[in-house]
Amino acid sequence: MNKILKEAKKINREYNTFITINESFSEGIPIVVKDNICTLDLKTTAGSKILENYVPIFDATVIKKLKEKNFSVLGKTTQDAFGFGTFSTNTELGIPKNPFDKNRSCGGSSGGTAAYIKLSENVKYGLGQSTGGSINCPAAFCGVVGLTPTYGLVSRYGLIDYANSFDRIGPITKTVKDAAELLTIISGIDTKDPTTQNKNEDYTKYLNEEIKGIKIGIIKECFSEKIDENIKSGIKETIIVLEKKGCEIQEISIPITQHLVSAYYIIALAEASTNLAKYSGMIYGLEEKPEENYNEYFEKIRKNFSLEEKRRILLGTFVRMAGYKKAYYNKAIQIRNLAVKQFQEIFKKFDLLITPTMPILPPKFEEIEKLSPLQTYAMDFLTIIPSVTGLPSMSLPVKTKTKLPIGMQLIANHFHEKNLVKVGDAYEK
Amino acid sequence: MQINEETVKKVAKIARIPLEEQEVRQFAKEFESILSHFSKIEKVKTENNIISPLSTKNIFREDEIEPSLQKAEIFKNTKNQEGDFFVSPKIK
């Protein structure tokens, strides 16, 4: 058996990184892919029981582009079902374990990809997907690089969607250089995704650049008492390093950031509740013998959704209901628009903004069980900032004395991924 | 915000998600705290604008005939097939 496949099986036995390993993998540049990205003839479940046996008859655009550049999918990685989670624990198809401590979470929802990239000696490229932070969060918890591109830079064709106006596919890799290479390949316009924009470029040309004079804003609200002290001090040390390299650092207050978790969850769950209506027990996905009338059959299939899937469908339905839509859904959209405008103004003065990626170090599984849904949703408040606004961001592992990894989040203006690459790469060196 | 078990049952009926009694009780409790937290956004001053400020534009493709999927591929993920048709439940 080839050594790359052998390593995949060994790591998977210990860490549950894969839902499906590609047994016919033999040659090409190996890449691991989150299981909500469709791969021709290779099972794609989105981590859910509803799609447990789904085998796509096509490749997502990102996979098609990668195959044209001699990449080959090694396996499909474990994740929260449909991306509904922060810790990769909301799934019945395998919970990945943290490479630094097996009793702790990898973060979510692209947990399997991030863990594998950390653990593997042979694979440095992975694909994750983010709605509210699902690339940056697991990258931070596993000590690797996660790059969430601007909404519209990378095609979503062939992605099993969670919330279409937020969903983004992006690299999870060992280094910033790997992420820049991968982004260069997967980005660009696609007639199959009408939201894609013709603004991609070769991001590798921004490696090994001087970062003198780059203006960085430190978002004050993101360094409050809610953030673990180890994380705060780790990031402060990193900011000093950037300052020594010539970056101009300034603190900035952005009060709207306090309201983005609510705005995000209202819009995302509204979109999710309509997206999940397509799993109706017909054509693909979980099926039974359709003997009853349509509504009864539809309910019989939907009874199989997990508790978290049901929770999100019901909340998403509620915020769209007559009598509540104006106060919840419309208001959330207005807040999102206000935030986008405010950030567009801020980026007239700054090239980059910095926050921690996550407020806590990777938690133990037993600690996660004790969290209420609202406490879990609130954990996303830092990654939700670039998610709501469609801004590109990167989680970068900081050099730290702690045993567990710490991620720093860089946020750039729309389609200014070059600033993430420049500063991320300069810091790594 | 007052979310009770009746509200949860009503939403579940609209969403066509059958719930166990225990799930109804759990969701009623959770939704009360989640939705009252969400409702704090009401106080934020915003413009009455629900159109995206992002300057994105739709892209189009030429309306040309392309090869379509083969029948065998189309039916690959279903067990409810009869001849060249998907079997669906009755609509009445």
- Provide mean pLDDT across the span A368-378: 96
Residue B56 has pLDDT above 80, yes or no: no
Domain boundaries, given as residue ranges, for chain A: 3-211+390-428
- Provide mean pLDDT across the span A90-119: 98
Of the candidates A98, A96, A79, A178, the one whose C-alpha atom is nearest the C-alpha of residue A143 is A98
User: In the CATH scheme, what is the homologous superfamily, with its name and number, of domain A3-211+390-428?
Assistant: Amidase signature (AS) domain (3.90.1300.10)
Q: Distance from B36 to chain A by nearest Cα, in Å? A: 10
Please tell me which of the candidates B18, B58, B80 has its beta carbon nearest to residue A299: B18
Q: If you count DSSP H runs as helices and E runs as strands, how many of each does chain A have, helices first?
A: 14, 13
| B59–A contact, CB cutoff 8 A | yes
- Provide mean pLDDT across the span A125-133: 98
CB atoms B31 and A189 under 8 Å: no
CA distances from B4 to A28, A208, A273, B26, B28 (A): 56, 58, 21, 10, 5
CB atoms A302 and B17 under 8 Å: yes
Q: Quick: pLDDT tens for A217-243.
A: 999 999 999 999 999 999 999 999 999
- Provide mean pLDDT across the span A304-323: 96
Query: Over chain A, what is the mean pLDDT?
Result: 97
Please tell me which of the candidates A256, A331, A337 has its beta carbon nearest to residue B42: A331
Q: How confident is the model at residue B57, as a pLDDT? A: 76
CB atoms A310 and B19 under 8 Å: yes
Please report which confidence band the pLDDT of residue B1 belongs to, taking 50, 70 and 90 as the band edges: low
Q: Which residue of B has its CA nearest to A391?
A: B54
Taking contacts as CB-CB distances below 8 angstroms, the residues of chain B near A276 are: none
CB atoms B34 and A283 under 8 Å: no
DSSP chain B: ----HHHHHHHHHHHT----HHHHHHHHHHHHHHHHHHGGGGGS---S--S--S----------------HHHHTTT-S-EETTEE---B--
Residue scoring higher pLDDT (B49 or A60): A60
* Residue A54 · residue A287 · CB < 8 Å: no
CA distances from A343 to A252, A253, A255, A270, A391 (A): 12, 11, 11, 24, 9
| B69–A contact, CB cutoff 8 A | yes
Q: Distance from A60 to chain B by nearest Cα, in Å? A: 15
Q: Kindly list the catalytic residues of A.
A: 34, 109, 134
* Residue A129 · residue A90 · CB < 8 Å: no
A123 contacts: CB under 8 Å, gap ≥ 6: A4, A8, A30, A31, A32, A74, A116, A117
| B65–A contact, CB cutoff 8 A | no
Q: How confident is the model at residue B60, as a pLDDT? A: 82
Residue with the two structure tokens 């991306």: A83
pTM for the full model?
A: 0.97
Please report which confidence band the pLDDT of residue B31 belongs to, taking 50, 70 and 90 as the band edges: very high
Q: How confident is the model at residue B50, as a pLDDT? A: 80
Please report which confidence band the pLDDT of residue A428 belongs to, taking 50, 70 and 90 as the band edges: very high
Q: How confident is the model at residue A122, as a pLDDT? A: 97
Residue scoring higher pLDDT (A378 or B56): A378
Q: Which residue of B has its CA nearest to A51?
A: B77
Q: Quick: pLDDT tens for A141-189.
A: 999 999 999 999 999 999 999 999 999 999 999 999 999 999 999 999 9
A84 contacts: CB under 8 Å, gap ≥ 6: A90, A109, A162, A272, A308, A309, A312
- Provide mean pLDDT across the span B58-65: 85
- Provide mean pLDDT across the span A30-48: 98
CB atoms A333 and B50 under 8 Å: yes
Percent of chain A at pLDDT above 70? 100
CA B47 distance to own-chain centroid: 27
Q: Beta-carbon neighbour count of residue A218 at 10 Å?
A: 17
Pairs across A and B, CB distance < 8 A: 158
Candidates B77, B82, B84, B86, partner chain A, best to mutate (most A CBs within 10 A): B77
Please tell me which of the candidates B17, B77, B90 has its beta carbon nearest to residue A314: B17
Tokens of A167: 């969903």
Please tell me which of the candidates B11, B90, B92 has its beta carbon nearest to residue A317: B11
B6 contacts: CB under 8 Å, gap ≥ 6: none
- Specify the range with the lowest mean pLDDT, choosing from A18-32, A140-154, A230-244, B36-50: B36-50
Please report which confidence band the pLDDT of residue A402 belongs to, taking 50, 70 and 90 as the band edges: confident
The Cα–Cα gap between A215 and B19 comes to 53
Residue A265 has pLDDT above 70, yes or no: yes
Q: How confident is the model at residue B55, as a pLDDT? A: 66
Please tell me which of the candidates B11, B50, B69 has its beta carbon nearest to residue A57: B69
First to last CA, chain A: 36
Domain boundaries, given as residue ranges, for chain B: 1-45
Candidates A283, A312, A333, A342, partner chain B, best to mutate (most B CBs within 10 A): A283
Residue A77 has pLDDT above 70, yes or no: yes
User: How many Cα atoms within 13 Å fall on the side-chain side of residue B31?
Assistant: 29
Please report which confidence band the pLDDT of residue B62 belongs to, taking 50, 70 and 90 as the band edges: confident
Please tell me which of the candidates A289, A310, A334 has its beta carbon nearest to residue B46: A334
CB atoms B31 and A390 under 8 Å: no
Taking contacts as CB-CB distances below 8 angstroms, the residues of chain B near A413 are: none
- Provide mean pLDDT across the span B81-89: 95
Q: Distance from A233 to chain B by nearest Cα, in Å? A: 30
Q: How confident is the model at residue B52, as a pLDDT? A: 76
Residue A348 has pLDDT above 80, yes or no: yes
Residue B54 has pLDDT above 80, yes or no: no
The one-letter amino acid at A67: K
* Residue A179 · residue A394 · CB < 8 Å: yes
- Provide the angle, in degrees to the nearest 10, between the axes of the packed helices B21-38 and A260-275: 140
CB atoms A307 and B90 under 8 Å: no
Residue A260 has pLDDT above 90, yes or no: yes
Please report which confidence band the pLDDT of residue A13 belongs to, taking 50, 70 and 90 as the band edges: very high
Taking contacts as CB-CB distances below 8 angstroms, the residues of chain B near A311 are: 27, 30
Residue B53 has pLDDT above 80, yes or no: no
Taking a contact as any Cβ pair under 8 Å apart, which residues of chain B between 28 and 47 contact chain A?
30-31, 33-35, 37-42, 44, 46-47
The Cα–Cα gap between B10 and A428 comes to 54
